Structure 1
Amino acid sequence: MSSPWSQRREVSPETSRLLIERAHEELVAGNLADERLRDVRSLVRDSWRRSLDSLVGAEAQPPLDLTADELEAYRRAHPLAAVIDMVRGLLLPGEASESGVVVAVGDAAGRLLWVEGDRHVRALTGDMGFVEGANWSEAAVGTAAPGTALALDRSVQITGAEHFNRLVQPWSCTAAPVHDPETRRLLGVIDVTGGVEAVTPQAQLLVDATARAIEGELLVSRLRARAAPPRAVRRAPPRRVEPTRAVLRVLGRDRALLEVAGEGVETVSELGPRHAELLLMLTAHRQGLSAERLGELVYGEGGGDAASVTLRAEMVRLRKVLEKTAPALVPQSRPYRLPVEIETDAHQVLSLLDRGAHRVALAAYRGEVLPDSVAPGVEEFRDTVRTALREALMAEASVDVLLAFADTDAAADDVELLRLCLSMLPARSPRRAGLVARIERLESD
């Protein structure tokens, strides 16, 4: 496979290298009001000033924050260790030693954990301290793509003379931050450093896409891990935890799992079918529900006084269950509502669809919402999630994603979906025959 960095494309800088160099000289000399600074991109100008405020030297070597032993132990435990092979596959395909760029993965503090790629470029950039264990935050080395991307929490490109540190000015770089896919906490940064090929529009698109792919892979890996049999997580005795995050898992299961994280621990509790229905309705209606309305959503209309009595009794039992593990989640009354927000895996799927992450959303969709429940509110919510997934995929997803969706229980009998897949496949695709047979079988039935 050829390297995506092998074909150089000319970059049209907003100002010439000479103007930027002169503006940099004036800034370092303390002439902060010099008119030449107006010719520098505001993103770079602001970063230069932050670099001055941090007392960064214009020719300073970055500090080596991690020794070899510390680096090895730290990156083994880092969340991005699980996706480093994906980074290599996306940014350094083929013969990485001749790619013309180096790819670095750093943590949220700007410390480089992995630096790989072209051997010659690595040797040259290593001379300026672009090595594993070095701190490349703005506060340490000034304006450079890894640190500036972390400071701004967005992807950036820094070209040649725009670097604050003169030792870095022969190089250009593109970097993008990586976030925890659920909490959005900053995990680290992906950087590509090289010549002008490292700061093309295509380079920024590729680095951005890699960061999003990493976030998606992290989420899918977590979802797979959480799908382990509940018995494996119920061996430890329950602990009272003040939650920093709570998730209700209802996809593909009737006995929902409530995961509560906080105080450095995570507890997982299995809820009975009725308690799962009640908690899901309170989660889906965060503004709160009257006793009458909650009763209708769970028991249906026309239950009368008997339904009200049953609802009160079940709510008492649900409160007792939650008091044992997460008292902060105990529902309030008049109206019934949750005191803190609880996420659901179903809402996570909807969020992924809104962000256009169709493949990840489908991987996260582990089945229907509480599939055996006949509670009216659950049936309505189940249909909402299923319909949103179907419509989003049919409108925007690739044929591979659509075919994967067609293999789920939710779409097994969807002739319209199958016909759409058929229309999107190439005329000579070996998949067409199976689809045609499946459509004919469904229509004959």
Structure 2
Amino acid sequence: MPALKTRFTEEMTSDGMRAQVAESWHRSAAAGVRADDAEAPITLPEDSLRGHREAHPLAQVFPLLDDVLGQAARDCDAVMAVSDASAQLLWVCGHPQVLRKAEKIGFVEGSNWDERFAGTNAPGMALALGHPVSIMGSEHFRHSVRSWSCAASPIHDPTTGELLGVLDVTGGDELVVPQTMAMVRAAARMAETELAHHKLTASTAPPEVRRKSGFGLTIQGLGRNEALLEIDDGSGRRSTLRLSPRHSELVLLLGSAPRGLSGDELAVLLYEEDNSGSTLRAELNRLRNLLGDDLLASRPYRLAADVSADWLALEARIVNGDVAGAVRAYRGPLLPRSTAPGVVRLREGIDSTVRQAVLSSGVPDLMSTWTRSSWGTDDYDMWVAQRQAVGPHSPLLPLITGQIDRLDRELA
């Protein structure tokens, strides 16, 4: 990466910066956030806030969070906030004097702290990365927020894994201790446990007469050389398997063919060269021993369960027009080391779909996410499109131009 003598990059690197924070600064700049913006924008006006808040799943657990973490925040002159999955703050509580200070940076109910609107901050980064994050003082992108520090953790639906929102504690330098993050993470897990309890007790029917819904399989293969397979037996028991490379290929191919595949079809998709049917049958028998007869059916070969997969969800987001959500969900190429013809075709199709969606979106921060990834760093067309999208006054322009120049030299 060429050295760039711009105020943007000098400010990022002068005292050293964590890699994930630097990435967030790039996303913020690419989205057009200005470092001298004073406040985060309001995206939930007062007349819409109440209804949105009351209908939100986290309304069930907010009293518990307020009692446990909210009170602790008041005691240490901090603020506790709960956002939805769009980083819109639904609840903000704390000591009145601290709340008035927070208003000056727009940290109020109804404001949006997505990185694309508010720059680098803990709630926005926790949403973007999907895991707990702490941001200290000068790591914030906007100058007005740099006297604050914050720690945030996502809250997920305990049964579906869907991201529901983010729990955050924001305050002064005294928050920059490991105990703060531990407390926030514990409170988020407690909220998920309480949500699970609500779901468990929602049905009044006794367990013995509840209908068994059947098996469910969830496959994760994006950015992984060995797929993860989560098995739900339909009665609330879940288990997770890390599959071998060959079993990963088999499960992905079968998961992409809900009507099933014949032995000949599966062999063509699995092997680069002609292979004996006995080799395939041996692999399938090993997989059946791992999964059980109930999950791997034959004639044709198929997964006998409700199948969901990360790459299928990603494609659905693109079809629905949610390119930003698809980019967040894209953790990398599908089984990147696999050379199985069927997997290669599937992988190249997914890569091309995501790339084209980002290219067509014209959204600078999505293009920046792509070009700063290992799979997109040499994407010449994307760098050129990003240069056009950011405009002539963007602080990212020197970096983009430098990368285009590098590729010009290498391609020449």
TM-score normalized by the length of structure 2: 0.52
Structure 1 Cα separation of the partners of residues 62 and 327 of structure 2: 42
1:358–1:397 Cα contact (<8 Å) kept: no
Q: Which amino acid aligns with 1:83?
A: S
CA deviations over 1:376-414 (Å, ceiling 9, x no partner)? 000000001101100111112510111011111221211
Aligned counterpart in structure 2 of residue 272 of structure 1, from 229, 244, 255: 244
In 1, are the aligned partners of 2:215 and 2:305 still within 8 Å (CA)?
no
After superposition, the Cα gap between the structure-2 partners of 1:8 and 1:293, relative to the gap in structure 1 and judged at 3 Å, is closer
**Secondary structure, aligned partner of 2:367:** helix
Residues 273-312 of structure 1 mapped to structure 2, 5 A cutoff? 273-300=245-272, 303=274, 306-312=275-281
**Contact 1:260 1:268 (C-alpha < 8 Å) held by counterparts:** yes
Give the structure 1 partner of residue 314 of structure 2: 349
Aligned to 2:282: 313
Match of 2:354 in 1: 389
- Number of aligned residue pairs: 254
List aligned pairs for 1:26-175, cutoff 5 A: 72=67, 83=83, 86-88=87-89
Tell me the residue number matched to 1:400: 365
Distance (whole Å) between structure 1 residues aligned to residue 159 and residue 64 of structure 2: 31
1:64-115 Cα shifts (integer Å, max 9, x gaps): x999779958x99xxxx9636933279999889899x987xxxxxxxxxxxx
Partner SS for 1:411: coil
* Counterpart position of 1:380: 345
Paired residues of 1:4 and 1:91 also in contact (CA < 8 A): no
What per-residue deviation string (whole Å, max 9, x for no partner) do you get for residues 192-218 of structure 1? xxxxxxxxxxxxxxxxxxxxxxxxxx9
Matches within 5 A, 1:8-27: none
Instruction: Give matches, 1:163-312, under 5 Å.
Output: 244-262=215-233, 263-300=235-272, 303=274, 306-312=275-281
Structure 2 Cα separation of the partners of residues 5 and 346 of structure 1:
30
Amino acid at match of 2:384: R
Task: Indicate the residue corresponding to 2:175 in structure 1.
Answer: none
Quote the residue 1:155 is aligned against.
none
Task: Tell me the secondary structure at the aligned position of residue 248 of structure 1.
Answer: strand
Code of the aligned partner of 1:398: V
- Give the equivalent residue in structure 1 for 2:377: 412
Q: Which has the larger radius of gyration?
A: 1
The question of 1:369 aligning with 2:351 is answered no
Q: Which amino acid aligns with 1:251?
A: L
Supply the distance in 2 between the matched residues of 1:66 and 1:383 (Cα, whole angstroms): 43
2:54 aligns with: none
Q: 1:181 to 1:418 in 2, by over 3 A?
A: farther
Query: 1:6 and 1:249, CA in 2 relative to 1: closer, same or farther beyond 3 A?
Result: closer
- Structure 1: state its 5+ residue gaps: 10-64, 104-178, 189-217, 223-240
Structure 2 gap ranges (5+): 1-38, 48-59, 72-80, 94-98, 111-155, 166-187, 193-211
Distance 1:180 1:69 in 2: 16
Question: Partners in 1 of 2:407 and 2:269 — Cα distance?
Answer: 34
Rounded Cα–Cα distance in structure 2 between residues aligned with 1:299 and 1:374 = 8
Distance 2:46 2:350 in 1: 45
Residues 223-243 of structure 1: CA deviation (Å, up to 9, x unaligned): xxxxxxxxxxxxxxxxxx986
Shift of 1:421: 0.1
Question: Is the contact made by 1:256 and 1:270 (CA closer than 8 Å) also made in structure 2?
Answer: yes
Deviations 1:231-271, CA, capped at 9 Å, x for gaps? xxxxxxxxxx9865321111111111111234333211111
RMSD of aligned residue pairs (Cα, Å): 4.5
3-state SS of the aligned residue for 1:409?
Answer: coil
Report the Cα offset of residue 418 of structure 1.
0.5
Do the aligned residues in 1 keep the contact of 2:218 with 2:229 (CA within 8 Å)? yes
Q: Aligned AA for 1:288?
A: G
Relative distance call for 1:183 and 1:2 in structure 2 (3 A) is closer
Determine if the alignment matches structure 1 residue 421 to structure 2 residue 392.
no
Match of 2:140 in 1: none
Alpha-carbon distance in structure 1 between the residues aligned to 2:109 and 2:405: 53
Cα drift, residue 277 of structure 1? 0.5
1:136-162 per-position Cα deviation (integer Å, ceiling 9, x unaligned): xxxxxxxxxxxxxxxxxxxxxxxxxxx
Could you say if the C-alpha distance between residues 361 and 97 of structure 1 is closer, same or farther in structure 2, counting changes exceeding 3 Å?
same
Other structure's SS at 1:313 match: helix
Q: How far, CA to CA, are the matches of 1:283 and 1:180 in structure 2? A: 24
Q: Aligned equivalents of 1:391 and 1:348: distance in 2?
A: 17
**3-state SS in 1 of match to 2:347:** helix
Counterparts of 2:44 and 2:265, CA distance in 1: 63
**Residue 276 of structure 2 aligns to a residue in which SS?**
helix
CA separation of 1:431/1:296 partners in 2, compared to 1, >3 Å: closer, same or farther?
A: same
Shift of 1:6: 11
Shift of 1:182: 9.2
The whole-number CA distance in structure 2 between the counterparts of 1:7 and 1:372 is: 48
- Go from structure 1 to structure 2 and tell me whether the alpha carbon gap of 1:397 and 1:91 turns closer, same or farther (over 3 Å shift): farther
Sequence identity (%) = 29
Offset at residue 443 of structure 1 (A): 2.1
- How many Å apart are 1:3 and its aligned residue? 7.4
Distance in structure 2 (CA, Å) of the matches to 1:387 and 1:354:
14
| Residues 441, 308 of structure 1: alpha-carbon distance in 2 compared, 3 angstrom cutoff | same
- Tell me, in whole angstroms, the C-alpha distance in 1 between the residues paired with 2:305 and 2:252: 14
Counterpart Cα distance in 2 of 1:357 and 1:186: 15
- In structure 2, distance between residues paired with 1:68 and 1:341: 36
**Does the CA-based 8 Å contact 1:282-1:288 persist in structure 2?**
yes
Sort the Cα spacing of 1:417 and 1:288 in 2 relative to 1 into closer, same or farther, 3 A.
Answer: same
